[in-house]
Amino acid sequence: MKRKRIFFRNNGLSPVEIIRHRLLPEDLHLKWPQFENRKVIYTHLGRIGNVLLCKLWNIQAGDEILVPSYNCGSEVDPFIWFGMKVVMYRIDDRLKIDVEDLYQRITNKTRIIYVTHYFGWPHPLEDIKKICSNKNIYLVEDCALSLFSNGPDGPIGLVGDGAIHSFKKTLPVADGGALTLLSNYDLNSQPGTQPAFGVIAKETIPIILRWFISSSQSIPIVSDSLFYVGNNLSKFESDLPFLENLDMPKDYYFSEHVMAWTISRISAGILKSSDPHKIFNCKRKNFKRLRDGIIEINNIKLLLENLPEGVCPLLFPLKVSDVFKWIRELNTMGIKATRWWEGFNQKLNWDDFPEAKNLKQKLLVLPVHQDLSDEDIDYMVTSIKRVAKSI
């Protein structure tokens, strides 16, 4: 087995493709099923949708929002910035919502219940939707990790009064999010300004670089696959020190300057040219192949073993005993294994949520994205078996 290889051929976009997408007509009307019968507002980042919701629903400082304890931090920060009181509810170690715990935390100031569908797997929402209707509380679905994914009743993101999406997680785009609304609300001011050129250029360069690198089979790198766009190509994550309460990256905290920005023209062009059906099928195929290859390995635990019909997996989460060692070994073999949401929003108190803390600190995720071939997945399986034997 070669020590390192380019793991993500065809990853990224060529300069010609970027220019072609930039030149497509400006209007964006995606006929994606998760947008059907909803008002769609495109934004520069997914998190902007959360501030728009606060404005639209006339949220007041001190109003309360219930958010899941297992969170990135960047989706929660806009609510804190807006002046809401953010109250976390329990997510268990299998990523399930503790509905009883959630229910106990509702007060007469609760205005929003926020639900995040993890890695493409839908939460059942009937009970929560009922609670919301009875108590006159808005339901928001965070679909940032669930693009093109479905539950038993159809696409994820059609139940909540509001839903937010973030395209960067699934597609090779520099920016882009969407807020979708159940009702045809009238927003006074919608984002309409193009993002600053420098911001988009900075995010687009890695996409092009990745194309160059992956076209040239000879350059060994540890590729970044999860988001397509990454800038830590040279540093092994496992070289970072383990911190009990690591801060999240500075740019996860909300900054007002992005509020007026809509999705960039380049990203809009790339979205128009994306094929949801193809992406859905490829990711499912990759997930199943990887799962079937490693399911028998003793010292790893799959967090989401079953792939229900309709689910479009974002990536492949695992639990292992020594996550840093695993990352180091797999990175050395050219596989972008990484921790997930390891930083903590410092404005929240995590003490009551040991399971969420544990997930943030211990989870290892592997890529299953649409540009990986069967051969890539097989290489990943062989590598994981090797690491499992050596640990």
Residues contributing to the site for ligand PLP (CB under 6 A): 45-47, 72, 74-75, 116, 142, 144-145, 166, 168, 177
Distance CA(142)–CA(158), nearest Å, equals 11
Of 175 and 329, CB closest to ligand PLP: 175
Minimum CB–partner distance for residue 390 and ligand PLP (Å): 32
Distance CA(355)–CA(115), nearest Å, equals 17
Of 81 and 328, CB closest to ligand PLP: 81
Minimum CB–partner distance for residue 179 and ligand PLP (Å): 11
Residues 6+ apart with CB under 8 A from 178: 35, 40, 41, 42, 43, 46, 49, 164, 165, 167
DSSP 289-324: HHHHHHTT-TTEEES-----TT---SEEEEEES-HH
Distance CA(205)–CA(4), nearest Å, equals 23
Of 46 and 269, CB closest to ligand PLP: 46
Minimum CB–partner distance for residue 21 and ligand PLP (Å): 19
Of 362 and 386, CB closest to ligand PLP: 362
Of 49 and 276, CB closest to ligand PLP: 49
Give burial (CB, 10 Å; 0-12/13-18/19+) of 281.
Answer: middle
Minimum CB–partner distance for residue 169 and ligand PLP (Å): 7
Of 87 and 381, CB closest to ligand PLP: 87
Minimum CB–partner distance for residue 45 and ligand PLP (Å): 3
Of 47 and 339, CB closest to ligand PLP: 47
CB 236 within 8 A of CB 222: yes
End-to-end Cα distance, the chain: 18
Minimum CB–partner distance for residue 222 and ligand PLP (Å): 21
Q: Buried b vs exposed e over 302-327: b needs ≥16 C-beta within 10 Å? A: ebbeebeebbbbbbbbbebeebbebb
Minimum CB–partner distance for residue 168 and ligand PLP (Å): 6
| Count of other CB atoms within 10 angstroms of residue 63 | 18
* DSSP bridge pairs for 155: 150
